[in-house]
Amino acid sequence: MNDIIKTAQDKFEQIILQQLARVEKMKEDKDFIDYGKLDKIVIGVVGGDGIGPAITQQAHRILEFLLQGEKAEFKAIDGCTIERRAECGKAIPDDVLSELKSCHVILKGPTTTPRAGDKWPNIESANVAMRKELDLFANVRPVKVPSEGIDWTFFRENTEGSYALGSKGIHINDDIAMDFCVTTTEGSERIARAAFEYAKKAGKTKVTCVTKANVIKTTDGKFLNICQQVAKDYPGIELDDWYIDIMTAKLVDPKRRTQFQIFVLPNLYGDILTDEAAEFQGGVGTAGSANIGKKYAMFEAIHGSAPRMVEEGRAKYADPCSIIRASVMLLEHIGYTEKAKKLERALDICMYEEKRLVVTGRDTGATGAQFADYVMDTIKSL
Ligand code: IPM
Ligand code: MG
């Protein structure tokens, strides 16, 4: 019995030491990178697995088209495939990680996340690892349905909560498994500030914090408490406090949901709520996602890698809309606001208004390449 406890204690000690070191690192990294001051902006392009390379290639073409003659340089980063990751036994192979770190921003296709029982070793998700390695603490996910009055932006904390140690839980013995949830002052404050700063710039009046602080008292309680502290620095912006269960219900209520503007929430609730939210807009395939840190930023499709589409020879029919939406956010983030607006406008026309080509995921619809051409032609006509 004592052995079991000692082994668990040692593991727990390691975890605490790692988290203490992470907090110190966060304290050191104060300022955001200024893209305006760079001579060139290096954009890494990671295809990922499954349909990833096919859809990422289309977003890449559009970005190259929009950034012709600008100070942007593209860098293809191969090897972030499930086969390579399984072979190295690592969420991100070392050579891929150092390539990523040589870029300023990254455009990333979906990567397969193994789970127990798969044909792959149960390694950590590449998304989660990348967010942690590059300290991409703010996962920003906008969802808009203008006809329904929905205009939401989610600020999901991206490096802590139940994800921080998601692959470092402890099997105490055959009977007991334990996972950990981590909330830090620094980590909560930076995501809360990101949400409030965004609200201020966008002229919004309300930020909604979503937790389960009535039950998960320590970690969620801390998150909520820090959001309340940060809110004091933003007079004129109200902080709303909701629990995740009732919030998932209220998002379905057509009257109440139009009142929400900006959300700030811990990692796991953010993961769940943003999938629900994206569904109102047409599904996760239509939403883009930005992962923002102080030094790096990564922009990705929010759907999975759909290996079955590849097995059935349908990769070229995969829908590139989510990763093109992510590209809008990338352009905006590195300072090309006008180009971002143009791409967003063209995408709205192609997806919702004119719909001259429709991607169905099968040969009944357009290929991703045809759709990307359609988007570029639409940009030219704006
Ligand atoms: C997301 C995804 C990831 C997550 C998976 C693939 C690990 O669902 O980006 O929302 O849980 O964060
Ligand atoms: Mg998710």
pLDDT of residue 149: 95
pLDDT at 104 over 90: yes
> pLDDT tens digits, residue range 300-315?
998 899 999 999 999 9
Contacts for 34 with CB less than 8 Å, ≥ 6 apart: none
pLDDT at 1 over 80: no
Ligand 1 atom closest to Cα of residue 304:
6
Q: What percent of the chain has pLDDT over 90?
A: 89
CA of 275 to the centre of ligand 2 (A): 6
**In whole angstroms, what is the distance from residue 62 CA to residue 328 CA?**
10
The answer to whether residues 164 and 19 touch, using CB atoms and an 8 Å cutoff, is yes
> pLDDT tens digits, residue range 330-379?
999 999 999 999 999 999 999 989 999 999 999 999 999 999 999 999 99
DSSP one-letter string for 90-136: SSS-HHHHHHHHT-SEEEE-------TTSSS--PPPHHHHHHHHTT-
Total residue length of the chain: 382
Pocket test for ligand 1, best of 108, 112, 125, 157 (most atoms within 8 A of CB): 125
Decide: pTM greater than 0.85. Answer: yes
Most distant CA atoms of the chain, gap in Å:
73
CA atoms within 13 A on the CB side of 311: 4
Tell me the C-alpha to C-alpha distance, in Å, between residue 59 and each of 63, 66, 322, 345: 6, 11, 9, 15
- Is the CB of residue 378 below 6 angstroms from any atom belonging to ligand 1? no
Domains of the chain by residue range: 31-136+293-382
> pLDDT tens digits, residue range 173-219?
999 999 999 999 999 999 999 999 999 999 999 999 999 999 999 99
Place of tokens 């760079």: 38
> pLDDT tens digits, residue range 243-252?
999 999 999 9
pLDDT at 117 over 90: no
CA atoms within 13 A on the CB side of 111: 27
- Is the CB of residue 128 below 6 angstroms from any atom belonging to ligand 1? yes
Ligand 1 atom closest to Cα of residue 131:
12
> pLDDT tens digits, residue range 272-287?
999 999 999 988 888 8
Average the pLDDT over 48-74 and give the result: 97
CATH number of 31-136+293-382: 3.40.718.10
Ligand 1 atom closest to Cα of residue 110:
6
Name the CA dihedral angle for 148, 241, 244, 270, rounded to a multiple of 10 degrees.
70
Contacts for 296 with CB less than 8 Å, ≥ 6 apart: 33, 100, 101, 103, 104, 105, 106, 134, 135, 136
pLDDT of residue 39: 96
Number of H helices, E strands in the chain: 13, 12
DSSP one-letter string for 287-318: -EEEEE-SS-EEEEESS---HHHHHTT-GGGS
- Is the CB of residue 162 below 6 angstroms from any atom belonging to ligand 1? no
Average the pLDDT over 149-154 and give the result: 96
pLDDT, the chain, mean: 95
Nearest CA to ligand 1 atom 10: 271
**In whole angstroms, what is the distance from residue 249 CA to residue 251 CA?**
6
Q: What percent of the chain has pLDDT over 70?
A: 100
pLDDT of residue 284: 83
pLDDT of residue 228: 98
> Which has the closest alpha carbon to 263: 282, 294, 240?
240
The ligand whose atoms approach the alpha carbon of 268 most closely is: 1
| 3-class secondary-structure state, position 39 | coil
Name the CA dihedral angle for 32, 38, 43, 44, rounded to a multiple of 10 degrees.
-70
What protein residues have CB closer than 5 angstroms to ion ligand 2?
A: 271
The answer to whether residues 210 and 273 touch, using CB atoms and an 8 Å cutoff, is yes
